[in-house]
Every structure is written in C-alpha cells, then in structure tokens.
Structure 1
Amino acid sequence: MYTSYVAIGDSFTEGVGDVLPDGRVRGWADLVAAGLAAAADEPVLYANLAIRGRKLAPIVGEQLDAALTLHPQLLSINGGGNDIMRPKVSIDDVAAQTSVAVSKAVDAGIHVLLLSGANPSDNLPGGRTMQRRGDELADRVRATIPEHGVTFVDNFADAGLRDLRYWSVDRLHLNAFGHARVASNVLTALGVPVPVAWQVDEVAAQSPLGRRAPSPAYYREYVLPWIGRRLTGRSSGDGRVAKLAELTPVDPQIVF
C-alpha cells in the first residue's frame, strides 16, 4: 500500500471538468488519493503538481523534478494530450520524453503510475486525427514500459469512457463521473478497492444526455477561444501554479 502519492500532468490530472460547489476542481487524482487513504491503515500524503494547458516538456521537466524532491512512494505521470492537439507533432518524440521520465522516476525507487488520458475523439471536431495520434502514442509508450516498477492504465482504450455522459460541456475534459471512472480504473489496476459509495456508472447511466452534434454556441464558446490561444501562443494555464504543491494528509471521506 502506498502512503505517499504525487501526481504530475496537465488539465486531465489537475481535475478540470470536475468542479466542486466552491469552484475548485477535484479530479481523478484526488479521488485516487482518497481511495488509497480509505484502504490504508496509516495516513496517506498527497500532492498534485499538474497545471492545465501544459505540454509534455514542462511536465517531465519542471513538474517531475519538483515531484522527485518530495520522494513519494507512488508517482502518476500523464501528458502529451496538449502536444497531439497541435497541428504538427512528433509522436516518437512525445513517447521518448515519456519513456525517459518514467525511467528517471523508477531509477529513483518510485513506483510509477503511467496512464493515458480518456479518448475525446468522438466528441470533437477533427476527432479522427486525435484518434489516430492517440492510438499511435499509446502503442509507442506501451512498447517502452519497463517490466518492473510501473503500472500502466490505458484510459484511452476504455470504450465506455467515450460516452458523452462522462464529458463536460466543452467535450474536451471529463466531468465528475468521467474523473471518477478513471479513478476506478486506476485503483483497480493498483489492486485497491473502489469505494462502493461512488456508484459512478450507476449515476452516469441516469443522465439523459446522449450524443449530440456541437451547436454554433459550442464553437463560439470553446473552439474559437482555443484557436485564439494557439495563434497567440497563450495557454489556459498561464499564470497558474500547482493546486497542491506539498505533500498533504488526505481525508479518506471524500464525497462523490
């Protein structure tokens, strides 16, 4: 059982889309920390260094270096989603950066939780390109995973997670149910019980939202601003810092 856990990544790991009543975001990594704490006989410490909008280089550079100084027993690594959404990207380069980061953490004696993000390609304009690039990246990364010291969770291949009921209104980030499903995938892969109280699939199944074509308002509110940031070199994470920079005791009684 892991009693210290650090997460690094982008908006997926920060928890964007799973918004609490006070405006803070939660997300799958927070839920995994709570699941670890609920199953442990001693306190579990947790830090989340992820920042939305980050490409892979600063994740496996700045964030990884900061994570290693915390000496966690478990480190989750996810990144590359923002890279493969750019017009031009080298999948081999993204996979190579990921492999180096994983090896660096494993060599430091840390168990690595390596996971892919969920697959948004059914819901987004240009989804076929996202599907192809995501599949290529998953294949490349899977081929370089060390035999020991790594748990790989392939959320991109989770067909059920593609259902629109797991996604927020921007169709790019998971909603609360989607993040909880990812947390369930992770805990299961780690051999940790998934809290029954979450009832993730049961609650999501009650949602009346099915697959709907994007409306003109969707393009105005989400697509055009995203294009504008790309053209001007801005990021949704500009000026933001990690939401939990230091290892902090986890409350296992998280409410879903």
Structure 2
Amino acid sequence: MSSGEYLRYVALGDSQTEGLGDGDDIAGLRGWADRLAEQLALGSSGLRYANLAVRGRLAAQIHAEQLGPALALRPDLATVVTGVNDLLRPRFDADEVAGHLEAMFAALTAQGAHVATLTFPDLARITPLARPISSRAAALNHRIRAAALRHGVIVAETSHHPVVTDPRLWSQDRLHASPLGHERIAAAVAHALRLPGSSDSWTHPLSSPAVTPSGWRAAATELRWAATFLGPWLGRRLRGRSSGDGRTAKRPHLLPIQALPMGSEPDDEPGKRPADSPQLS
C-alpha cells in the first residue's frame, strides 16, 4: 500500500506516541505520530488522523481503552507502540505484555488495517541506573518481532542503531524523546513503511559528537537526574498514581492534518534541550 492510499491513520500508545518531550501541555504536544501524519498528508490530501495515546498507560490499559475506539474509526493505517511503562514496573511479564500487543495486531489487521510498531532501545545505554531492566527490553523486543511476523505487522527496528541512545535525542527525563528524537522515530516508521521520500538517514549519527560528562561530573549528573525525575516517579508509583490519571486522548477523532515535509527542522543541535521537562509517566 502506498502513502497515497492512506486516508485514515490512527495512533495507539502511551506518552511517547502522545508526544511528550516534543512541545508541552500549554503550547501543545507534537510527537513522532503527528510528524508521521504530516508526512503521510504529503501523499494524500484526504488523510485524516487520530491519536488515542495517553501517557502512563500500560499495555493492558491501551488494549482495553484504545483498541475499541481505534476499530470504530476503521483505520487503513494504525501504529501500536506500548511496553516501556510495563518494563519499569516491579512485576513485568513479557508474555503478558506481548499478548496484549498481539491481540491489538490481530484485531486491527483482521479489519484490513496496515499496522506498524517499534522495538525499544536498551535504556541502560541512556542511563546506567536502568541496567537491571536491559534483559526485559530484549525479551519484549523478541516477542514484538515474533507477534508482528505472525500478523504481517511492519516493525521499525529502532532498538540497535547507536544513534538512538545519543543524549540529544532524549529529553531531560531520559525516558521521552526530545523533538529531534521524535523526528528520528517518525523517520524510522516512515522508512519501515517505505513512504516516498523516506530513507535510512534516520540511522546516521549526528554530525558532531555528543558531549558527555565524566568523573565526578557524571556522578553529579546521575544524582541530579535521580532527584529531579526518578524520585518523583517512584513516589507516584508508591501512591498508585500515574501522570496519565484523569487524562484523555489529545486527538480522539479523525481530523485533517497539515502536510509538512519530514526533516524540515534543524537536525543537529548539540547540547540543546527542550524548554519543558516532561515527567516520567
């Protein structure tokens, strides 16, 4: 199916698909799914786009809350990305998470939708404190690939390219992509879908090397991150709360979207961080 044939694109997921790290809740979130929709609109003036993603949602919640509305919109293209919030929970079951993903793959493809998903990078390459969950990400990625193969789902392999853990592609909380990161994710999905104008350039390293602290500065950076982001996130978990409590989808209906060429913004801004600092979901 070519991009010109896509008329109804629906995105399902959590904070990454909602767009955290790319804009803010005052000016509005953009995010990789919005960016992908903008490129799709270049090939189809009739494209309409809905984004059902809500931050903080687990795979089971996305399955229960978003699949039904997505099916009702009868998409010809859907993206389903979930699992990171599950990875971070004390009790993680890769088979259970993959089961929810596969159920969504099956339902959407059975209705005739073209479906795409992502694999996840090793979070330990972004923050050393995430080393205990490295094996979880690998286990989930393996199951995502297997489920996708069974249902003809396209997989954008964002897990193993070195550039995906460049700190400039991540916001200050190290869990959500920065605007540049969202741009790269959108380009990865576009390339996996073989959209006109897409290429593997999203896998290329940035033109200048990242500047990373070392020694005592690195330790101080880790402590500051833990106090600013990890501590509050753990506090919400202990209280049984989520950043998505009380929130609904930002774009629950299929609406037209303005076509913008992908990669129309500066791609390499060493050291630049978004003005907002989104919290861990």
TM-score where L is the length of structure 1: 0.89
2:213 and 2:158 map into 1 onto residues whose CA distance is 20
> Which position in structure 2 is the counterpart of 1:251?
258
> Which position in structure 2 is the counterpart of 1:233?
240
SS at match of 2:124: coil
2:253 and 2:161 map into 1 onto residues whose CA distance is 31
Alpha-carbon shift at residue 205 of structure 1 (Å): 3.7
Aligned CA distance change for structure 1 residues 195 and 88 (closer, same or farther; 3 Å):
same
Indicate if the aligned counterparts of 1:9 and 1:77 stay in contact, CA closer than 8 A.
Answer: yes
> Which position in structure 2 is the counterpart of 1:74?
77
Indicate if the aligned counterparts of 2:123 and 2:131 stay in contact, CA closer than 8 A.
Answer: no
Aligned CA distance change for structure 1 residues 191 and 55 (closer, same or farther; 3 Å):
same
SS at match of 1:6: strand
TM-score where L is the length of structure 2: 0.82
Among candidates 140, 144, 168, match of residue 141 of structure 1? 144
Aligned CA distance change for structure 1 residues 9 and 223 (closer, same or farther; 3 Å):
same
> Which position in structure 2 is the counterpart of 1:32?
36
Amino acid at match of 1:45: R
Establish whether residue 172 from structure 1 lines up as the match of residue 175 from structure 2.
Answer: yes
Establish whether residue 90 from structure 1 lines up as the match of residue 97 from structure 2.
Answer: no
1:4 and 1:78 map into 2 onto residues whose CA distance is 18
1:234 and 1:220 map into 2 onto residues whose CA distance is 18
Q: Deviations over 1:125-180 (max 9, x none)?
A: 53222321111111122122245542111222332111111111111111011111
2:170 and 2:98 map into 1 onto residues whose CA distance is 26
Q: What does 1:100-115 align with in structure 2 at a 5 Å threshold?
A: 100-115=103-118
Amino acid at match of 1:243: K
Among candidates 147, 164, 170, match of residue 161 of structure 1? 164
Alpha-carbon shift at residue 110 of structure 1 (Å): 1.1
Aligned CA distance change for structure 1 residues 87 and 195 (closer, same or farther; 3 Å):
same
SS at match of 1:17: coil
Establish whether residue 14 from structure 1 lines up as the match of residue 21 from structure 2.
Answer: no
Indicate if the aligned counterparts of 1:115 and 1:155 stay in contact, CA closer than 8 A.
Answer: yes
Alpha-carbon shift at residue 191 of structure 1 (Å): 1.0
2:211 and 2:28 map into 1 onto residues whose CA distance is 24
Q: Percent of aligned pairs with the same residue? A: 38
SS at match of 1:71: coil
Aligned CA distance change for structure 1 residues 244 and 216 (closer, same or farther; 3 Å):
same
User: What is the root-mean-square deviation in Å for CA atoms of aligned residues?
Assistant: 2.4
Gaps of 5+ in 1: none
Which region of structure 1 is more displaced relative to structure 2, 181-190 or 153-162? Answer: 153-162
Q: Deviations over 1:169-215 (max 9, x none)?
A: 1111110111111111110111113479xx97899545864366334
Indicate if the aligned counterparts of 1:184 and 1:194 stay in contact, CA closer than 8 A.
Answer: no
1:135 and 1:157 map into 2 onto residues whose CA distance is 10
Q: Deviations over 1:33-88 (max 9, x none)?
A: 00111123x32110001011111111112111111111110110011110111112
Gaps of 5+ in 2: 266-281
Among candidates 132, 137, 142, match of residue 129 of structure 1? 132
1:129 and 1:17 map into 2 onto residues whose CA distance is 24
Aligned CA distance change for structure 1 residues 63 and 21 (closer, same or farther; 3 Å):
closer
2:188 and 2:55 map into 1 onto residues whose CA distance is 22
2:71 and 2:171 map into 1 onto residues whose CA distance is 32
1:20 and 1:43 map into 2 onto residues whose CA distance is 28
> Which position in structure 1 is the counterpart of 2:276?
none
Establish whether residue 210 from structure 1 lines up as the match of residue 212 from structure 2.
Answer: yes
SS at match of 1:121: helix
